[in-house]
């Protein structure tokens, strides 16, 4: 029993981070039909901003994190949109897919060449104390990651539903032409989406890297998982990405624990194929339109 609870709780903790990355993924898709194959690298990179600022420049950790989030919003949000997405978006999705694959490669190789090919330890924001919950070991970082990730996603959901800017962003995602006629500055709204994605990636990065250790290749697995979580949950719903992320986290751990360690990676893939065949819009997705 303790083993089961352990696996379940660890799965939820990992899943909450997958959800953060997956939410950013769906946001970009809704706002601009961008399938971002570099999303995993977007989560890998901010941790290295933090490392560069603390280790190389000697800044204190909290300041470094704030600066890293700011840098991510700027580079992974604004610059990414301006230099990569905007010039390509009128050519359809394929060139952009290729460009984001190349961008992922660029970020990965860049970190490897200019920082280090070796994994780096990363400071934790929280004390490492471990609590016992029904016989399962749960650490403070586990709980904090879950709470912060959920809080961020709920906060984002509230922002989109309750504020004027948020509703304008939703309108832009649903129908840019109508939104424009109604006087929404759609360019600005799309930009906001990219900025939010940059911030989400930075938050996920800071939360996950103490456990994952900072390594240039971290994005490979994360990007794929976020992608699958988004499709499984529903590509056009924030809550879909949330559920998809948690589900993949739990299923991955359960299948490693009880099905087959050798085939653990296959289980989320089979789930993906199953969902596409049975419910192509995703578990919580809506089949028409692109509602946020």
Partner 1 sequence: MIRKATLLTASALSLMAGLASADVRIASVAELSGAGAAAGAVWHDGIKMAVEEINAAGGILGEQIDLVEYDSQTDPQNSRAMVQKAIDEEAFVLMGTVYSSSTVVNMLVAMQNGVPQITGSESPTITAKGNPYIFRTAFGAQKGLPKLGSYIKDDLGASKVAVIWANTEFGKGGHDAFENVAASNGIEIVSDIPTEQAQVDFAADVAKLKSSGAEAVFAYMTEEESARFLIEAEKQGLGLPIVGDTVIASQKVIDLAGSAANGVSSHVGLTAEAPIPAIREMAAKFEAKYGYGADHNAIKGYLGAYTVKYVTEAVGSFDRQAFADKMHGLCLDAATHPGILMDACWDDTGELSRESFLVQVVDGKQQITKTLPAN
Partner 2 sequence: MKRAHLILALIGIAVLILAPIGQKNYIIYVLCSWLMFSIAAMGLNLTLGYAGQVSLAQASFIGIGAYITSLLTLAGYHWVFGWLAAMGATFVIGLLLGYPALRVQHHFLAFVTLAFNTIVFLVLRNEEEITGGSFGLVGMPRPEFFGIKTMPQLNFYYFVLVLFVISAFVFWWIVHSPWGRAFKALRENPIRAESLGVDTRRITLLAFAIGSAFGGGAGAIMAPLVQFIEPGSFALIHSLKILLMVVVGGAGFFYGPMLGAAVVIILPEFLRFTEGYYLIIYAFLVIVLMVYSPSGLIGLGSKLMARFRPKQEVRKDMAKGAQL
- The 3-state secondary structure of 199-240, one letter per residue: HHHHHHHHHHHHHHCECCCHHHHHHHHHHHHHHHHCCCCHHH
Structure tokens at 226: 């976020």
Under rule CB under 8 A, residue 106 binds partner 2? yes
Q: Rounded to whole angstroms, how far apart are CA atoms 59 and 53?
A: 6
Which of 63, 74, 269, 291: binder of partner 2 (CB under 8 A)? 269
Under rule CB under 8 A, residue 263 binds partner 2? yes
CB of 109: closest distance to partner 1 in angstroms?
8
CB 152 within 8 A of CB 20: yes
Give the count of residues interacting with partner 2 (CB under 8 A): 40
Residue 291 touches which of partner 1, partner 2, none (Cβ within 5-8 Å per kind): none
Under rule CB under 8 A, residue 217 binds partner 2? no
Q: Site residues for partner 1, window 206-245 (CB under 8 A)? A: 211-213, 215, 217-218, 220-221
Q: Rounded to whole angstroms, how far apart are CA atoms 204 and 208?
A: 6
Q: Rounded to whole angstroms, how far apart are CA atoms 287 and 19?
A: 21
Q: Which is nearer to partner 1, 9 or 190 (CB)?
A: 9
Under rule CB under 8 A, residue 96 binds partner 2? yes
Under rule CB under 8 A, residue 144 binds partner 1? no
Residue 237 touches which of partner 1, partner 2, none (Cβ within 5-8 Å per kind): none
Q: Quick one: DSSP state of residue 260? A: -
Residue 88 touches which of partner 2, partner 1, none (Cβ within 5-8 Å per kind): partner 2
CB of 13: closest distance to partner 1 in angstroms?
8
CB 19 within 8 A of CB 151: no
CA atoms within 13 A on the CB side of 18: 33
Which of 8, 101, 133, 150: binder of partner 2 (CB under 8 A)? 101
CB 170 within 8 A of CB 179: no
Q: Which is nearer to partner 1, 45 or 256 (CB)?
A: 256
Helices vs strands, H then E, count in the chain: 12, 2
Residue 182 makes CB contacts below 8 A (sequence gap 6+) with: 171
Candidates 201, 265, 262; CA nearest to 18 is: 201
Q: Which is nearer to partner 1, 3 or 83 (CB)?
A: 3
Q: Which is nearer to partner 2, 137 or 272 (CB)?
A: 272
Q: Which is nearer to partner 2, 91 or 188 (CB)?
A: 91
The window from 6-14, 108-116, 150-158, 166-174 that contacts partner 2 (CB under 8 A) reads 108-116
Which residues make beta-bridge pairs with 120? 214
Positions in the binding site for partner 1 (CB under 8 A): 3, 6-7, 10-11, 14, 109, 112, 117-121, 128, 130, 137, 139, 211-213, 215, 217-218, 220-221, 252-254, 256-257, 261-262, 264-265
């Amino acid at each position: 029993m303790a083993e089961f609870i352990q696996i379940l709780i660890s799965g939820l903790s990992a899943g909450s981070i997958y959800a953060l990355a997956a939410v950013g993924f769906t946001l970009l898709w809704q706002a601009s039909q961008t399938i971002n194959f570099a999303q995993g690298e977007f989560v890998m990179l901010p941790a290295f901003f933090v490392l560069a600022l603390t280790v190389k420049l000697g800044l204190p950790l909290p300041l470094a994190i704030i600066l890293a989030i700011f840098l991510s919003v700027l580079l992974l949000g604004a610059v990414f949109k301006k230099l990569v997405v905007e010039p390509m978006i009128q050519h359809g999705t394929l060139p952009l897919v290729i460009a984001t694959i190349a961008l992922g490669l660029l970020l990965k190789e860049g970190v490897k060449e200019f920082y280090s090919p070796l994994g780096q330890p990363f400071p934790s924001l929280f004390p490492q104390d471990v609590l016992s919950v029904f016989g399962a070991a749960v650490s403070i970082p586990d709980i904090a990651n879950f709470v912060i990730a959920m809080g961020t996603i709920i906060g984002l959901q509230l922002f989109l539903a309750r504020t004027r800017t948020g509703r304008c962003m939703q309108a832009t995602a649903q129908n840019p032409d109508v939104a424009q006629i109604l006087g929404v500055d759609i360019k600005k709204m799309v930009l906001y989406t990219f900025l939010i994605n940059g911030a989400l990636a930075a938050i996920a990065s800071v939360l996950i890297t103490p456990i994952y250790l900072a390594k240039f290749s971290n994005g490979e697995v994360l990007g794929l998982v976020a992608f699958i979580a988004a499709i499984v949950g529903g590509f056009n719903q924030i809550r879909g990405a949330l559920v998809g992320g948690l589900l993949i986290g739990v299923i991955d751990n359960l299948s490693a624990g009880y099905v087959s360690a050798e085939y653990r990676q296959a289980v989320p893939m089979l789930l993906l194929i199953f969902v596409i065949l049975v419910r192509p819009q995703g578990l919580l997705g809506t089949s028409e339109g692109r509602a946020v």
